[in-house]
Each structure stands twice: as C-alpha cells, then as structure tokens.
Chains A and B, each alone.
Chain A
C-alpha cells in the first residue's frame, strides 16, 4: 500500500493536461497525479514520466533554479517548473496545463529546440570582445572597473541572465517576426555595450538595430514581467534604442 504523508487524503488527485507531440503537431492528453501539499510543476511532470508515460520527453537538470533548463508554459505562462509550486498556479481542484515553451521549435512533447534562441545571442554580438586583446589573448593588465560607476551598474543589472528562454517565449514580437532577436539576446548586448572593457560596441549596436532588433520592440514588457530572475530586458532594449538614437544623431556610428 502506498504511504500517504500526514495531513493528506489518499484519494486527492491533481488533473494535469500535458501537450504531447512533435514538430508535426500534437494535442493535450490528460493525466491524474497524486496531489501533495508541497509539489512543484517539475515534480508533477517527473511523476507522469516515471510512473505513467516513460516516453514523455522533457528537460531539466539542477531542480533548484540555477540552470534554467526546465522552463515550460504552465497555465498559459512561461515559467521555471522547478521553482513553481502547483498551488501557486492552480487553485484547489483546478487542472494544470503544461506545454512546451512558445516561439521555439518543438523537438518532442515538452522539450523545445533552443538552437534558434542561442543563435540569436550570437547574432546580437553576445560574445565579449576584449578591447586590449582583439585576438582573444589575455590582456597584460587587469582592467580597473569601479563597481559603483554608472556603466558598471547598468551592465550588472542584466548580467545574471542564465538563458532559460522564458522571456523569449513570452515575447509577442518574436511570435510576429521570427527574425526578431528577442529580449535575452538584446539584454546580453546591452550588458556588453556597458562593459568598458569591451571593444566591439559599434558592431554590436549595428547588429541590434533595425527591424529584427531593438527598434521592433513595442515595450509590452512581458519579458520583464516573466523573467524568473527579476531582470529587466525591456529596459535593456530601451537602453539600446536610446544609445542608437544619440549615436546616430551625433554621427558616432560611422
């Protein structure tokens, strides 16, 4: 007989609708999972995969909100499933609805292909280019960067991004224009634009301007609203727009 933790009724079940399918299409399937006082959405998905459907595909690694690989769409919002308690997203008796992240190609079930997301980081100039050593060599001297300087604080504001793709999946502009670089890539670009040690400012600003870049952002701020790390990609994009405006006005881009 299954042991039931204290304070719970044996028959309590949680209804879960999980999207099953692949790139060709799919549909929601319903599962019943034992309801627990404390369970995360990732616990629920894991229960289904271990006890009911061994072929359910999903992705996770750290389970503690460090790696950012378990992001999925839960009841209409992109989230880290490991840091989302079921009771926070579903009222008692309410069903859970879990689907793969939006705006990314589905590999199978809840696992999406993150390649387009990271390709856009590269396209937005997301790699640090040392000013003193363009060939990638270690500079002879350490840079002195006062942590309290305005630019460093602006860089620090966005540097904790771990690339989970929640903002990207929440962004309507990405849905409307598949070439749009997206919030995470431009948050990274803005971080590097503010890094005084970086030497690729002009190339980077060029890469993030135009129709697929910051100028397409409508400031709906869903990225900022959803970021599990409370970062503010929307303000980063506004910063890029502002910098490009003044740089173009004073002819600093050419």
Chain B
C-alpha cells in the first residue's frame, strides 16, 4: 500500500526523511570508503590506480552526491541537536531551510572545484 503523505507533507517531516535516508546511504557507503583507504596499505601503485579510475566523470558525479549527502546529514544533525539542546521553540522551519541551504551550498562548492 502506498503511504498516505497528505499528513506528512510539511518541512520538518521532509527534514526527518532526508536526515534518515542520507544517514542510511552514508552507512552503505562506509565499507566502500574503508576498502578504498585499504588500497593504500597495498602500496602506492594500487592506490594511484584506484585514484586514476576515480577520476572518471561518473565517479565524480557519485562523489558529488556523497558530498551532498554528507552535508545534508551534518546540517540535519546539527538542527536536531539545536532543537533538543537549545530548546528553541520558534523558527523551526527556518532551521530546516538553513540546513537545506548549507547542504546545497556544499554541493555547489564541490561542483565549482571539480575539474
């Protein structure tokens, strides 16, 4: 059954979904990250080979997605910490907008530096 989103289509719910999904995707990426780092133990050549392969545009695009996910999860996490520890009642939706903006800015910054 398709979930009924009519009651859930508000900014703080979307922020919850983004935080959760980005966290899960980052957790799935972690083994790959450790494997890539493990290449360094095999010697310089192995790591360089991998890094050369990582220069292809498709991997760069995936890397960009990763940066955005990381920024989303970080900004979303800081938002949750702020609302739980600082007790700010007002401007919750602005906080969602600011965290989304931070993630967007991180994504743009990464794209500007690619190449």
User: CB within 8 Å of B: which residues of A?
Assistant: 73, 75-78, 157, 170, 172, 218-222, 224-226, 232, 234-235, 238-239, 241-242, 245
Contact = CB atoms under 8 A, between A and B. Distances in A.
Interface string B12-29: 110010001000000000
Interface of B: 4-8, 10, 12-13, 16, 20, 80, 83-85, 87, 89, 92
30 contacts: A73-B7, A76-B5, A76-B6, A78-B7, A172-B8, A218-B16, A218-B20, A219-B16, A219-B84, A220-B8, A220-B12, A220-B13, A220-B16, A221-B10, A221-B92, A222-B8, A222-B10, A222-B13, A224-B12, A224-B92, A225-B10, A226-B7, A232-B89, A234-B12, A235-B83, A239-B87, A242-B84, A242-B85, A242-B87, A245-B85
Given A220-B13, A221-B12, A245-B85, 4 more contacts: A77-B6, A219-B12, A238-B87, A242-B84
A157 B89 CA distance: 10
A170 B4 CA distance: 12
B8 A219 contact: no
B94 to A, nearest CB: 13
Contacts of B7: 73, 76-78, 170, 222, 226
Contacts of B12: 219-222, 224-225, 234
Nearest to A236: B89
Contacts of B89: 157, 232, 235
Contacts of A235: 83, 87, 89
B51 to A, nearest CB: 39
Contacts of B83: 219, 235, 238
Contacts of B85: 242, 245
Contacts of B10: 221-222, 225
B79 to A, nearest CB: 9
Nearest to B5: A76
A221 B13 contact: yes
Nearest to A73: B7
B57 to A, nearest CB: 37
Nearest to A77: B7
A82 B92 CA distance: 28
Contacts of B92: 221, 224, 234
- Residue among B5, B10, B84, B85 with most chain A CB within 10 A: B84
Given A219-B12, A232-B89, A75 B84 contact: no
B20 to A, nearest CB: 8
Contacts of A218: 16, 20
